Structure 1
Amino acid sequence: MTAITAIKPVSRAATVQKVRSPGGIEAWLVEDYAVPLVAIDFSFKGGAAQDPQGKAGTSAMMASLLDEGAGDLDSEGFHRALDDRAIEISFGADRDAVSGRLKTLSRSVEEAVDLLRLAVNAPRFDADAVDRVRAQITASFRREAKDPDSLAGRGWRESAFPGHPYGQAVRGTAESLAGVSRTDLVDMYGRTLSRRDLKIAAVGAIDAAKLGQMLDRAFGDLAFGGALAAVAPVEVAAGGAPQIIDLDIPQSTIRFGLPGIPRRDPDHMAAVVVNHILGGGVFSARLFREVREKRGLAYSVYSHLSTFDRTSIFGGGTSTKNERAKESLDVIAEQIHDLATDGPTADELDKAKKFLTGSYALRFDTSLKIASQLVNLQTEGFDVSYLDERNGMIEAVTLDDAKRVGARMLGSGPLLTTIVGRPEGF
């Protein structure tokens, strides 16, 4: 009789090297020579929460301009240099960070690092580029003024965090961007792009020694610390009567939310499981079953967890006919109440845990995805061991855990709701 040998799970953490450059810059590296590519993801502390009062969108605009001319290359020259070598470099800002990524063929990695060095150390902020980027963002606002999803998201955030930086749109408004000067952009750049809170991950055909040299070339000349403003902790505001934004369309777009569970909270993994059961699991979720399948109220309905440096959100949304908006929201609120009161069933818990553990590998199926995940872990304060421990944390969630955390997260009060359209029944 042939003995059966158990297959030991592959350790993701074991593939990650912690690299320290000669100049003291740290990064996480996954060497992979299957294809001749190098992907680098990086993040600086800052983002839209650092925008000056009355000038929302400064950080996002600054990030958009980092690859619009740098050093001795104007915008056209910089992008031509990227295109000539099939190099991809991009930047963006979210609420708490300014981030960037680079992707290049390994044969062009030297040229790619030189261009990255220019972008992060010597952005030009030329007047014509500033005007063009401002005009592009402003034009997108005109389109969004008729987009119910954009209006609902913006309206909900403003209601959730009144008077707080998280209540402002990351890209600002046409009015706030009009007041952003080149001096504001340069100041934001100086405060944000520093080595102090820089997190980096690299994946691909490169070894630790070469990566260390690249890190010093690209980031070594940055100042160590920027003068970031303190951001106060905040919770999603209490709910009540829905905020209605009038728009003459046949459907109502609904956004709802409550305070979430922070990322480093011991209950966070149980919250992930509970959210999957409610609305994160799409076809298997209660909201999908009750709102779409049983009643045909909407094509799509969902819930999600979002965590930021100074807050956390449980949120969700759907779109439905104006005349069925109240019925839809009532069904959603009922399902949230039931899950908060009674918790999930054992079968729901088992299916959710199997899906969440089985699908985790999909977050690591490309070089850029791997690099992004590694930067996120660093930013959130986790070690590489989390890569192996995460599924065990999901599997350890018990039915009692799910019931307790469901009550904590979903039973905290009435939903904060924003509706765009002309909903009936309110």
Structure 2
Amino acid sequence: MTTKSNTVNKQRRQFLKAAAIGSASASLPFSSFAIGKEKPKLRILGTHVTLQEELRKKAIDDLGIDLVFEPKGSAAVLQKGSMSPDSFDLYEQWSNSINVLWRSGSIKPIDKRRISYWDEINSLTKTGKVTPRAKIGAGDAPYKLLHIQKDGSLSNNDTNSISYLPYVHNVDSFGYNTSVIEKGVPYQTESWGWLLDEKYRGKVAIVNAPTIGLFDLALAAQAQGLITFGNIGSMTVQELDKLFQILIGLKQKGHFSGFWTSVPESVRFMKSNRVSIQSMFSPAVSALNGQNVPVTFAAPKEGYRGWHGVMCMSSKITKRSEDVAYEYMNWWLSGWAGAFIARQGYYISNPSRSKQFLSSNEYDYWYGGKAALEDLRGTDGKVSVKKGDIRTGGSYEKRFENVAVWNTVMPTYEYSLEKWYEFLSS
């Protein structure tokens, strides 16, 4: 892109930012906050996926609040969130955490009438499908957990009370180093089964999260023909016993190199050549490509494991913090944040608003599945997409038409936890 076009884009973004903040300021509960007084504070518990320093700084600048981020690994976040609602104001993780948080009483209803951009949120969380031909996917499809009913249950029946704010989402699979493993063909030869292929023994890592890594391994075992599930989104005790018998046997033979708990750790695993193939999240792939490590994010022929980010409100939040929390939630959907996370491969629930903060080339690559017309930079400023590259798996619609299973808390969740930790310690 030329210097002139960079300048134009910068001016356009500054204008849009000013317009967005200006138009919203009339409704902000603290928009006329007196200088010299203590800023409103918001404590956010979540993972490294969204609790990033650049996002924190931008939100502080735009909203005039104090933000405290507490990022942890997936399992630790869910444990603290379900047991200590007084330790956070907002919780950011994935939809598979909703059932646990709701049943524990750790979160309270969100009034969707206070979400400024609710009407812009697309059909994925409202109907379960981003296109009419899309597969719903097994397990906890997020739309099933969104609306709070009069009896306190969660379902897809529309109400004004929601259990979470739909925002960041993506489909996950595994990443592999193409300097070691020959590059496959998306949706044709790339397979979850590769994670359990004997030829990669000792060079495989899995995400250490029982509601995520479990499904990576279940999809892999099924792809290898080692087991068949009646419903992979709701495995029985007998199916779990058989699956973990297989996995423990592989672990004792040295098949797995490790189990990572955060995106930075997964980057270190691959960069150090500890692994050649592993469970991965999109920001890690983007970061590694920016460091010239040739990692491909697979589009498995069996379908993706889908996830949907959730922003939940603590049941112990104070009235003052609650007002600030709504402004922060609205900020996330106001455009800039969605464009930021697009550059690391994530989607936002109202992409039309973020489109204006992305160049046409960026939007066409990340959302449209088109070839990059120039090198594109990630959130770290490094080139993560080379000119001519096409995003693995194609467009936003194509990727979300192919969800095999969602991150899920199954009816056998407690038993699966026992088996997971037995597996890790075997």
Larger proportion of helix: 1
Tell me which interval the TM-score lies in, with the shorter structure as reference length: under 0.3
What TM-score comes out, normalization by structure 2 length? 0.22
Q: Whose Rg is larger? A: 1
What TM-score comes out, normalization by structure 1 length? 0.22
